Structure 1
Amino acid sequence: MPGIGTRRRTAVGAARCRRAAEAPVRWIWLAAWPVAAVFVLSNAATPLYVVWQRQMGFGRGTLTVVFACYIAGLLGSLLVSGVVSDRVGRKPVLLPALGLALVACLVFATAGGVTALIAARLCTGIAVGAVVSAGMAAVTDVAGPGRRPLAALLASCAMVLGAGTGPLLAGVLSETLPAPTVTVFAVEAVLLVTAVVVVLRMPVPRPAADEGGAGAGAWVRVPGVPRRAGRQLALGVAVFAPGITATSFVLSLGPSLLAGLLGTSSRIVSGALAFVMFLCATGVQFAVRRRGLRTVLVAGASATALGMLVLITAVHAGSVAALVAAALLAGAGQGMGQLGGLSLLNSAVPANRLAEANAALNVGGYLPAALLPVSAGYLSDVVGLTTGTTAFGAVLAALAVGGGALVLLLSRRTSTATP
């Protein structure tokens, strides 16, 4: 029989859940703002790479390495941020992450060489890693147990909408205002300061670390999920990983593809391409939110596979329209994979393990998103952008098809509640 102390802790945890459930709906939306603000930073540099390439003289291989350093920082952050957040709370993780994002803005704005760009991308990646684990879990905590589907939708949409707004905002500001690499990150710093204010006032409870195993094990570890949620994690990663790898490729090498197809290095055009890709990722999540999770995940895998086939067609036919279509399909694939993965975890993982579970999903997604675009970038330097893109598209299409097949196989034994 549980002791008095255990019953008291359980009662306190239940009271915290009730308080979170009573939070006004506007706070669920506001809780998603720090996620969006940090993801604006995550891709704000995309249209500016052509400026830095011209100033610093580096090739596509180096460009994809700079891009991948962000993912290296993110993966390193995920090894600790989810566990720490589940044990000590969301705010003690989110506030330092936002501070590091502000440091990244300063380094980007004053960058004089590739080393500075790498440092800024690492800082950005660490901040994003904390946000995709602790920040997304905070949205769920504020929503409460009865509004978890809404929390998954808003957290996922905040991520992709922020990721798309960053390149567009940077493209427009850098083309229309002086000192492009300074102005962009000064504006982003203001957005991050508002996110700090939101986190300070956010009505999020501290998780009860004595339930569900959150207090056990090492502080730094490969993130995981409770044993009963392993299948849900596998289903999410199977679709989310190819989807986010596709959008990562468009972000890193999309400007080079546009320059080859259009003969333009317009930062507004490259930023707009990324924006419409992530706008599609946002819109598709609202469109499919009432569908069963198996339907959402299979549709996401199909969109990614089709997007890669269209990408191959675009580079061989020299078609800008096909490139835009490929970007839209890639965005749809990531959006549905991300929503499906987060919804599965929200339905199967207790609140005090949710940040670690979110970290596990993103580790599975970002590993191929780091490795494959870098490989494609260096291959493109050797054999040309067309051949490198073709090889990348074929490999990723095969992975997406495999992910969809895995969903069909495993979901027969897994609950697929509507998100």
Structure 2
Amino acid sequence: MLTVTTVVLMAAASAPSPIYPLYRRRWDFSVTLLTVVFAVYVVGLLGALLLLGPVSDRLGRRPVLLAALLLATASTAIFWTAGGVLSLVVARTVQGLATGTAVGALAAGLVDLSPSQRPHAGTTVTAVGTSVGLAASAAVVGLLVESVAHPDTCVFPVLTCVFLLLTVAVWYIPETAAPAPDAPPRFRPSVRVPPGSRHRFLAAVPALVAGWSVTGLFLALTPSVVTGVLHVRRGAAGGMDIAALFLAGGLGGMWSARHTVRRATLLGGALLTLGSAGLAVAITLPSPYVYACGAVVAGLGVGLTYNGNLRAIGEVTTAQSRSGVFSAVYVVSYAALSLPALAAGFLTPVWGLRTTSLVYVAFVGSLSLITLVHAAGSPAGGHVHRGTSTVPTGRTAATKRTKRADVCHSPSGGDGPTSGSRGH
């Protein structure tokens, strides 16, 4: 059920993107205002992550998910009845609050439920489920844009009903994190990464920023780029390019599970760089076919780097800190998703859509090169998964032996594994 919830939340997040050109024609607003509509989603999401990210570690996963699903239901209902740009802004803000409330609890809950023989199953499901939800929604809504006059009146009623059903279903799921009665949640802006997780977290930042920046390009600007720069008039084209990116991201996430973290990030950085170059060539020519190929290659890179780094971070979290750490990951990710796209929206009236898109792609390519160089310089090691077994490689085996010795002599509590927590 947590997997289904992840997929549906991500599907709702990408559903408006293929409809944006229709909204622009219907209510006559600019690309700049469109990126503002996109950005308020991330503002709501980051606000929820900062305030509520670690709360499920203290209250439990289920009550946090119930609140998030009720917010998601409200957001799709507002989309359903939208009558202007202000309605879009309100709907996207509430949708961002819902997603930000849910993602940390979902990621932590999936890791909680991972079988001991496959400890990375939860992070893989999180990464792949995110990509599948975004891809499926973009593809379906893109086809509806081409075949139905008002696709929003088809999409958002269905999503509203699905969220209501998920709310009922989540009510009955077992709790995976026992509430802590002696530690009431504090609702103040903070995301804390414990010292034991900090090194892995900081090492993942370049890849997270690179991958989610290209995601922002596609969700915020690609439908406009496809029609205004690549001169494709089919309404489904923008949604299909978004779907291609995220479907490739899901495949890259599954592919990543067969490699060590270093190898997955190295390969992902190379593919992100190559994909960014392809997107730049496509915009310069212009060529919608090269653009689609660049989307696929970049998507594979996003999936490899994202899942690889989620696995690396998941290894060094405990049940008491897991939701907070994953929330910190999402703060970085969604800031990278929104800020470059928002900047592009304000620059478009000055530079034009074509030049702005080229600069955006160059920015993503530079970050991808940094990711590639960082991965190439990191020590070899990690875990290679074959079926249900986990095989330590290189330095990782020695590191694990050292950690086991340290745990035996460390006091309980803090951020290290204890007798009451599951280490990964």
The answer as to whether partners of 2:216 and 2:340 remain within 8 angstroms in 1 is no
Displacement of 1:320 after TM fit? 0.9
The 1:415/1:197 distance shift into structure 2, 3 A limit, reads: farther
Q: Does 1:198 align with 2:164?
A: no
Pick one of 382, 386, 395 that aligns with 1:416.
382
Q: Does 1:76 align with 2:47?
A: yes
- Residue-by-residue CA offset, 1:364-409 (whole Å, 9 max, x unaligned): 1221221111112222221112211111111221122123323344
Q: Does 1:389 align with 2:357?
A: yes
| DSSP-derived class of the 2:82 partner | coil
- Give the 5 Å matches for 1:163-202: 163-177=134-148, 179-202=150-173
- Residue-by-residue CA offset, 1:96-151 (whole Å, 9 max, x unaligned): 11111111111111112211111111111111112221111111122254432111
1:38 partner letter:
L
1:371 partner letter:
L
Displacement of 1:165 after TM fit? 1.4
- 1:119 maps to 90
- 1:335 maps to 303
Distance 1:229 1:282 in 2: 25
2:383 partner letter:
A
- Residue-by-residue CA offset, 1:59-86 (whole Å, 9 max, x unaligned): 1111111111111111111112221111
- 1:6 maps to none
The answer as to whether partners of 2:256 and 2:307 remain within 8 angstroms in 1 is no
Distance 1:267 1:90 in 2: 40
- Residue-by-residue CA offset, 1:215-268 (whole Å, 9 max, x unaligned): 499442331222021111112222122111101101211111111355344332
Q: Does 1:295 align with 2:266?
A: no
Q: Does 1:61 align with 2:32?
A: yes
- Residue-by-residue CA offset, 1:170-211 (whole Å, 9 max, x unaligned): 22334434532211101112322332233223223224649x
> Mind listing any 5+ residue stretches in structure 2 that lack a counterpart?
386-424
TM-score under structure 2 normalisation? 0.85
The answer as to whether partners of 2:76 and 2:159 remain within 8 angstroms in 1 is yes
- Give the 5 Å matches for 1:6-405: 30-177=1-148, 179-207=150-178, 209=180, 215=183, 218-405=186-373
The answer as to whether partners of 1:174 and 1:183 remain within 8 angstroms in 2 is no
> Mind listing any 5+ residue stretches in structure 1 that lack a counterpart?
1-29
The answer as to whether partners of 1:239 and 1:337 remain within 8 angstroms in 2 is yes
The 1:310/1:108 distance shift into structure 2, 3 A limit, reads: same
Task: Flag the structure with higher helix content.
Answer: 1
The answer as to whether partners of 1:238 and 1:407 remain within 8 angstroms in 2 is no
The 1:189/1:380 distance shift into structure 2, 3 A limit, reads: same
2:356 partner letter:
G
- 2:392 maps to none
Query: What is the number of residues matched between the two proteins?
Result: 385
2:138 partner letter:
P
The 1:195/1:380 distance shift into structure 2, 3 A limit, reads: same
TM-score under structure 1 normalisation? 0.86
